[in-house]
Amino acid sequence: MLYPLKFQPVLKEKIWGGNKLKELFNKVTDAENIGESWELSGIDGDESVVMNGFLAGNSLTELIEVYMGDLVGDKIYERFGLSFPLLFKLIDSNDKLSIQVHPNDEIAAQRHNSFGKTEMWYVVAAEPGAELVIGFKNDCSRDEYLDALDTGNVEDLLQNVPIKKGDVFFIPAGLVHAIGKGAVIAEIQQSSDITYRIYDYKRVDDKGNERELHTQQALDVIRFEPSKNPKTEYQTKPNELTPLVSCEYFTTNLVSFDRPLTRNYGRLDSFVAYMCVEGSFVISVSGEKTTVDTGETVLVPASVIEVDLIPDRPTKFLEVYIG
């Protein structure tokens, strides 16, 4: 019988990374400047590997090959085959990330044989003064944008949004964006690693080289209209489900609870992923228990119909599925 699956994180060093993923979530590595922890990934070369139960040591793709719809859901298996459709990350921005944009499905398929990249962010922690870049302040023409790039003034066109713990942002393909310094973010996205970097503050790596920019590739991807009300507004009620984002690629709810609750997924026909962003809880399935701590992500297979969730203190997690 399939059971809730925990995976070994894939840790990524980044020029802008820090040590918070190790400090806050006990991600184990000797490396410095860890910018990303890929919590659940089917991306070739960075596939997640199971770390609990009798399936330990198997990759996510191997599991899909064997268990098919029982793991991911019948409709999802029919649509995506052996490709796991989502990527779950934790991000530590010890410095500003590059200003970037992602292609949609059509362009990503044509250019890269890849899915597009629509994503969402949940702010797990934020230092005082932390900000995000989300879209343009005002209507911007292609020529205005190119002139600003040439003169190094592109930041003047973009909208800076102050952030705090618990803020949520939906980032569709084509929206220019960047994570600022001092944020820890839970990111849920399509399974794609395609990024068009449009500005990187003229930073250099340890060899003195600036990172590659993708100016021309980004031009026919960017949405030039202003991004109004970029933050997703929501109100949390204790021990109730709070909808955050629902799009064609994923649905995300916030569960905030301090007493046991039961979730039934009998009508869903999808895997469910839990990203624990605060506290700790136990998943009980047919009497078998799996502990989930802050910063951990768990995959609940589609064949698991009902789960009992028992918090050991006030706890929050993101519940993610397709459909």
Catalytic residues: 197
Dihedral sign from CA coordinates of 148, 152, 154, 160: negative
- Could you give the CA distance from residue 249 to residue 230 in angstroms, rounded to a whole number? 19
Q: Edge to edge, what strands does the sheet with 131-136 contain?
A: 158-162, 131-136, 177-179, 99-101, 196-199
- Could you give the CA distance from residue 306 to residue 284 in angstroms, rounded to a whole number? 9
First to last CA, the chain: 24
Distance of alpha carbon 7 from its chain centroid, rounded?
Answer: 15
Taking CA atoms, 120 is separated from 2, 86, 243, 247, in Å, by 28, 11, 13, 10
Q: Edge to edge, what strands does the sheet with 5-6 contain?
A: 5-6, 297-300, 272-278, 315-321, 251-257, 240-246
Of 275, 269, 323, the closest CA to residue 299 belongs to 275
| One-character DSSP codes across 33-73 | -EEEEEEE---TTS--BB-SSTTTT-BHHHHHHHHTHHHH-
| Other Cβ atoms closer than 10 A to 323 | 13
- Could you give the CA distance from residue 323 to residue 309 in angstroms, rounded to a whole number? 22
Taking CA atoms, 229 is separated from 62, 137, 157, 160, 307, in Å, by 42, 11, 16, 12, 36
Q: Which two tokens stand for residue 283?
A: 């998943």
